[in-house]
């Protein structure tokens, strides 16, 4: 599936399903990262339906997402169809970049990080929240076995089995954030874990 196709067919159900799967904690996980970002102009990378809009507060929010079907449900004023690997913005045009539950769907993490670094002003910050496997082999095995059952079941109930089968496999797609963000154009300040078994991570990165 391409980035724009992954959840296009379930745009109307996407936020509700996320809330169910996270036991209502998806918003709290987003807010934890947002609270550590500066004010000013922020790019919501993969912002889709605009679930993060209320949490971004008084910031000037620009949303970019590859799926027009998702953006059509976003009430924000500045919405752009596009991908993280080729951001259509000027150098140094944002004070912050926020991205939630997106990095597993990227074609190129390295390319997207390079683009984030380009559009951030010096000293600007990126806050990233995403899903992965818990740290530790036992916790990872337990989580993998659970998601292999739960996610396809949710997908069938939502009428989108392919999308949620993809989600299960995407949890193994990338290395741990401590490794993934350790090298590159942005400085990794810190990471933290959230959710059952720590399968959700947050990361704050800064442009030197």
Q: Where are the domains of the chain?
A: 8-206
User: What's the pTM?
Assistant: 0.81
- CA dist., res. 92 & res. 119, Å (int): 4
String of b and e for 169-201 (b: at least 16 CB within 10 Å)?
A: ebbeebeebeebbeeeebebeebeebbebbbbb
Q: What is the pLDDT of residue 2?
A: 40
User: Is the CB of residue 23 less than 8 Å from the CB of residue 4?
Assistant: no
H-only helix segments in the chain: 14-21, 26-34, 68-71, 109-119, 137-158, 161-170, 177-180
Q: Give pLDDT tens digits for 92-125.
A: 999 999 999 889 889 999 999 999 999 999 999 9
pLDDT at 70: 87
Query: What is the pLDDT, as a whole number, of residue 17?
Result: 63
pLDDT at 26 over 60: yes
- Residue that the structure tokens 């980035």 belong to: 3
Specify whether the CB–CB gap between 113 and 185 falls below 8 A. yes
Q: Does domain 8-206 sit in CATH 3.40.50.150?
A: yes
Q: Which residue has the higher pLDDT, 38 or 104?
A: 38
- Strands 94-100 and 41-45 turn out to be parallel
What are the beta bridge partners of residue 193?
A: 201
Which of 176, 172, 170 has the alpha carbon at shortest distance from 141?
172
């Amino acid at each position: 599936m391409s980035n724009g196709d992954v959840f296009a067919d379930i745009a109307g159900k996407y936020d509700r399903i996320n809330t169910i799967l996270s036991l209502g904690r998806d918003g709290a996980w987003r807010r934890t990262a947002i609270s550590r970002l500066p004010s000013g102009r922020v790019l919501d990378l993969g912002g889709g339906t605009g679930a993060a809009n209320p949490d971004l507060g008084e910031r000037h929010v620009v949303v970019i997402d590859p799926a027009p079907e998702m953006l059509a449900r976003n009430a924000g004023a500045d919405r752009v169809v596009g991908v993280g690997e080729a951001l259509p913005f000027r150098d140094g045009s944002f004070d912050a970049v926020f991205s939630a539950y997106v990095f597993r769907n990227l074609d190129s993490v390295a390319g997207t990080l390079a683009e984030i670094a380009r559009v951030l002003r010096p000293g600007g910050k990126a806050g990233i929240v995403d899903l992965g496997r818990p740290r530790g082999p036992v916790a990872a095995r337990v989580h993998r076995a659970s998601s292999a059952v739960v996610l396809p079941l949710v997908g069938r109930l939502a009428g989108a089995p392919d999308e949620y089968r993809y989600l299960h496999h995407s949890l193994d797609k990338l290395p741990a954030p401590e490794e993934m963000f350790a090298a590159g154009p942005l400085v990794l300040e810190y990471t933290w874990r959230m959710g059952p078994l720590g399968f959700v991570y947050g990361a704050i990165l800064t442009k030197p």
